[in-house]
Chain A
Amino acid sequence: MKPIEAIRIAWEAIAKNKIRSFLTMLGIIIGVAAVIIMVGISAGTEAAIQEQITSLGSNLVFVQSSFTRGRPGQGPQSGGLVFDDSTAIQDEVEGVTAVVVEQYSSETVRVGDVTLEEVEILGTTTGFPSVRDIDIAEGRYFYDLEIERKQKVAVLGSSLAKELFNNESPIGKYITVGSTKLTVIGVLKEKGMVGNTDYDSRVYLPISVVFQKFTPSFFARIMGDSVRMIYVELDEDANLDSVITQIELLLAKRHGVSLEEADFTVTTQQDIIETQESTTAAFRSLLAWVAGVSLIVGGIGIMNIMLVSVTERTREIGIRQAVGATPNDIRIQFLTEALLLSIVGGLIGIVLGVGGAYIFSAFSGMRTVIMVHSILLAFGSAAIVGAFFGYYPANQAAQLDPIDALRYE
């Protein structure tokens, strides 16, 4: 029997039972579509996050307080990072071009009769826009002198500016943050969401104002104003490892802790990307496995229907044997049918998967990336599943005795 003949016979058998064939294929269709969509979503998410991380600016080292090791309030230990740490890094670590400090608060912001509650207040230093790669849309960022003098000035995120002032220019106008009146001196360009942070809906203040008005603390007098995060921007040709070591040693000394018990962590962008990658890779392989399981379930469906089909068509098998079909002809016929079911199912699954991924990103706003290798993988596994689960029924058919098969009612 020529292969084309086997395909024709198999195709006719599939076409004769359209609904049943479709239901049989459904498992494979869903499996393949699921693999493509799932991998597409996780790859899209990963790409988006990576882009955001690199958009934060390059050559950055992040220093954060870590409360897991250092236990505040115990012995000589400090309460984490303080503002003076940043000046020490600036002064004593080699290869540093800029140091930026962040401290957060959350306050009610009022302008005229517009009141916004729980607006994020970010106290920073002058290097912030350059380190974080944010442009100024209007006006300017604050100067060092304004920080030193605790000038009550504010820079607005773009969407916050719109909410508070509509389309009017906010420059020179006043806003009330908590109970403090501040002059707006600038508006940032739109930046969007980076991770969980919305850069456009915040108020940016000189960090000294935040210390004074929003995060005053008794301990600050003794230990200095605590900060959430210190960004260190490196010289282009600075050695990353050396800078990290210098920062770690310096801060450990300043905080009176050993490196093992450090109450801060130093991470690089590469660390963040790697963590991110390993998380999404784990996530993605989990999704792929789940989708793979549905492919196997689809294969079992094919085997089930093929077994039913062999029984139902026992007489047909007998007829074919009587006119000269060899066991191998029969095996090939049923194997081809199973393969064709899974391949057609796989093709429909690819169409649905690619279409589904587009629709998903259109409706959810999440990015999906169609990975060619996920299509090949899904399609290949569908074909393998078809061959694997089709072999047993095909073999059953091939081993039928022609006399018994012809007698079968």
Chain B
Amino acid sequence: MMSARKIIETIDIRKIYGMGEVSVAALDGVSIDIEEGEFVAIMGPSGSGKSTLMHILGCLSRPTSGQYLLDGEDVSRLNKVELAAIRNRKLGFIFQSYNLLTRTTALRNVTLPMVYDRTKEFTPEESDEKASRILEHVGLGERAHHQPHELSGGQQQRVAIARALVNDPVLLIADEPTGNLDSQSGEEIMTLLHRLHQEGATIVMVTHDSEISAHTQRTIHLLDGRVETVVKNGKKKPGKEKVEK
């Protein structure tokens, strides 16, 4: 494997909940590396710490100890405001339950991250134009002005993916992206994620479904807050091979 830029590098991350004798280590020294352009799955039974890890990787919370370098920047000691800016500029979230704003059009949902971007000034036309372009890219060009309740689950997840992409993040974090979908829509979403991966996106996907994780290049298995095993799924680098079932 070519030595590529590391998007994620965690060094001995611990997350401890509670204090003193009742404290519980949700993460007990996790060190992982994820390179640019990788598609990695994080698996583990409930209680293994995979949600906690995802929250830390997603800059929604900070590790109790250890270091987290995101795109070369140590984000493990940033405050709430700085973390919000990192989430805005570098991360895109895809949730199991889509988490779209209700009674808000697909287009407005997609432009949402741009509203909070302090580094760029968009005119409303520019942001609408960019959002429609991305909606088109995920196959929802004609549904831009529909509200979530007028869309199917698969379509809603596509809107969420478009929202995750809109600020050109360095990392996509997907939390059980197919968990609420029927198998057909789930497959379509996976196909879309593969396409994005082939286009160069770095994706970390949390799942408990080994069939889904088999779609990725690597699976990191967590158990009791530690990395149990790392399994290469035999997928090749993007663009070389069509995805098999």
Indicate if B77 sits at the interface (CB-CB under 8 A): no
Indicate if B145 sits at the interface (CB-CB under 8 A): no
Interface size class of B (residues with CB under 8 A): 20 to 34
Within 8 A of B (CB), among A305-326: 315-316, 318-326
Knowing A16-B103, A319-B99, A406-B99, the reply to whether A324 touches B117 (Cβ < 8 A) is yes
Complex contacts, A328 vs chain B, CB 8 Å: 81
- The answer to whether A322 and B81 have CB atoms under 8 Å apart is no
Complex contacts, A315 vs chain B, CB 8 Å: 99
Knowing A5-B115, A328-B81, the reply to whether A323 touches B87 (Cβ < 8 A) is yes
- The answer to whether A403 and B163 have CB atoms under 8 Å apart is no
Indicate if B69 sits at the interface (CB-CB under 8 A): no
Indicate if B93 sits at the interface (CB-CB under 8 A): yes
Within 8 A of A (CB), among B54-104: 55, 58, 60-61, 80-81, 84-85, 87-89, 93, 95, 99-104
**How far apart are the CA atoms of A118 and B89 in the complex, in Å?**
90
Complex contacts, A323 vs chain B, CB 8 Å: 87-88, 93, 112-113, 116, 163
- The answer to whether A322 and B85 have CB atoms under 8 Å apart is no
- The answer to whether A324 and B84 have CB atoms under 8 Å apart is yes
Partner of A326, one of B85, B93, B101: B85
Complex contacts, B93 vs chain A, CB 8 Å: 322-323
Indicate if A79 sits at the interface (CB-CB under 8 A): no
Indicate if A402 sits at the interface (CB-CB under 8 A): yes
- The answer to whether A326 and B116 have CB atoms under 8 Å apart is yes
- The answer to whether A321 and B84 have CB atoms under 8 Å apart is yes
Partner of B101, one of A316, A402, A403, A406: A316
Distance in angstroms from A309 CB to nearest chain B CB is 14
- The answer to whether B95 and A406 have CB atoms under 8 Å apart is yes
Partner of B116, one of A1, A318, A403, A406: A1
Complex contacts, A326 vs chain B, CB 8 Å: 80-81, 84-85, 116
Distance in angstroms from A75 CB to nearest chain B CB is 89
- The answer to whether B87 and A324 have CB atoms under 8 Å apart is yes
Complex contacts, B116 vs chain A, CB 8 Å: 1, 320, 323-326, 329
Indicate if A327 sits at the interface (CB-CB under 8 A): yes
When each residue 1-36 of chain A gets 1 if its CB lies under 8 Å from chain B and 0 otherwise, what string results? 100010001001000100000000000000000000
- The answer to whether B99 and A318 have CB atoms under 8 Å apart is yes
**How far apart are the CA atoms of A402 and B87 in the complex, in Å?**
11
Which of B55, B99, B113, B115 gathers most chain A CB within 10 Å?
B115
**How far apart are the CA atoms of A16 and B104 in the complex, in Å?**
10
- Nearest to B95 among chain A residues (CB) is A406
Interface of A is mostly: helix
Complex contacts, A401 vs chain B, CB 8 Å: 61
**How far apart are the CA atoms of A320 and B99 in the complex, in Å?**
10
Total contacting residues, chain A, CB less than 8 A: 23
Within 8 A of B (CB), among A329-385: 329
- Nearest to A9 among chain B residues (CB) is B115
**How far apart are the CA atoms of A11 and B58 in the complex, in Å?**
31
Distance in angstroms from B119 CB to nearest chain A CB is 11
**How far apart are the CA atoms of A327 and B83 in the complex, in Å?**
11
When each residue 36-64 of chain A gets 1 if its CB lies under 8 Å from chain B and 0 otherwise, what string results? 00000000000000000000000000000
Complex contacts, A322 vs chain B, CB 8 Å: 58, 60, 87, 93, 99
**How far apart are the CA atoms of A320 and B112 in the complex, in Å?**
8
- The answer to whether A403 and B61 have CB atoms under 8 Å apart is yes
Distance in angstroms from A21 CB to nearest chain B CB is 14
**How far apart are the CA atoms of A406 and B60 in the complex, in Å?**
10
Complex contacts, B80 vs chain A, CB 8 Å: 326-327
- Nearest to A6 among chain B residues (CB) is B115
- The answer to whether A324 and B99 have CB atoms under 8 Å apart is no
Complex contacts, B112 vs chain A, CB 8 Å: 319-320, 323
Complex contacts, B84 vs chain A, CB 8 Å: 321, 324-327, 329
- The answer to whether A403 and B60 have CB atoms under 8 Å apart is yes
- The answer to whether B99 and A1 have CB atoms under 8 Å apart is no
Distance in angstroms from A13 CB to nearest chain B CB is 10
Distance in angstroms from A328 CB to nearest chain B CB is 7
Complex contacts, B101 vs chain A, CB 8 Å: 316, 319
- Nearest to B113 among chain A residues (CB) is A323
- Nearest to B85 among chain A residues (CB) is A324
Knowing A323-B113, A325-B116, A328-B81, the reply to whether A403 touches B55 (Cβ < 8 A) is yes
- Nearest to A399 among chain B residues (CB) is B80
Complex contacts, B89 vs chain A, CB 8 Å: 324
Distance in angstroms from A402 CB to nearest chain B CB is 5
Distance in angstroms from A329 CB to nearest chain B CB is 6
Distance in angstroms from A18 CB to nearest chain B CB is 12
**How far apart are the CA atoms of A398 and B59 in the complex, in Å?**
17
Complex contacts, B113 vs chain A, CB 8 Å: 323-324
**How far apart are the CA atoms of A16 and B108 in the complex, in Å?**
15
Within 8 A of A (CB), among B99-151: 99-104, 112-113, 115-117
Distance in angstroms from B92 CB to nearest chain A CB is 8
Complex contacts, A327 vs chain B, CB 8 Å: 80-81, 84
Complex contacts, A403 vs chain B, CB 8 Å: 55, 60-61
Known: A319-B112, A403-B60. 6 other contacts (CB 8 A): A1-B115, A1-B116, A320-B112, A323-B88, A323-B116, A325-B116
Q: Give A residues with C-beta under 8 Å from B.
A: 1, 5, 9, 12, 16, 315-316, 318-329, 401-403, 406
Q: Give B residues with C-beta under 8 Å from A.
A: 55, 58, 60-61, 80-81, 84-85, 87-89, 93, 95, 99-104, 112-113, 115-117, 163, 167
Interface CB pairs A-B, < 8 A, 26: A1-B115, A1-B116, A5-B115, A12-B104, A316-B102, A318-B99, A319-B101, A320-B116, A321-B60, A321-B84, A322-B58, A322-B60, A322-B87, A322-B99, A323-B87, A323-B93, A323-B113, A323-B163, A324-B84, A324-B87, A324-B117, A324-B167, A326-B116, A403-B60, A403-B61, A406-B99
9 residue pairs, one from A and one from B, having the closest CB atoms: A324-B88, A324-B116, A323-B113, A326-B84, A326-B81, A402-B60, A319-B99, A324-B87, A325-B116
